[in-house]
A = this chain, B = another copy of it.
């Protein structure tokens, strides 16, 4: 089976450990948009063990914390669909009231030409994700 998330090619990896990785989503309308991908090919969150569920969700929340610290968005959007690629992955999207779809989801009808912003560097994101994850898991 050809699963694009099983082969980590053409990805910009921001952070990774033995279980999952945070990659950058190249969408000019959504600077800072990150995707958290479980390495193993598993379709649903409830196919993972409780320990693995907690780990990937901690990485998702650490990514949210990092994006809030570095970009101060008006809202964070979190989503895990997998209808096209049934391999557990989470979208973590910083949203701004003047972005292309606000207040619709990024999968909805565009509302305007979105304001452009500069994404944080991968180095800054990696450091902030690592620090947030340490704080979450040591608490």
Contact = CB atoms under 8 A, between A and B. Distances in A.
Contacts of A76: 44-46
Given A44-B76, A46-B65, 12 more contacts: A43-B75, A44-B68, A45-B61, A45-B78, A50-B136, A50-B139, A77-B79, A77-B80, A83-B102, A83-B103, A104-B107, A108-B108
B68 A46 contact: yes
Interface string A64-85: 1100100000011111111110
Interface core residue of A64, A68, A76, A83 (most chain B CB under 10 Å) = A83
Closest 6 A/B residue pairs (Cβ): A83-B103, A79-B79, A105-B107, A107-B107, A78-B80, A50-B139
Nearest to A102: B83
26 contacts: A43-B75, A44-B64, A44-B68, A45-B61, A45-B78, A46-B61, A46-B64, A46-B65, A46-B68, A50-B136, A54-B54, A57-B57, A75-B82, A77-B83, A78-B81, A79-B79, A79-B80, A79-B81, A83-B102, A83-B103, A83-B104, A84-B103, A105-B105, A105-B107, A107-B107, A107-B108
Interface in A21-61: 43-46, 50, 53-54, 57, 61
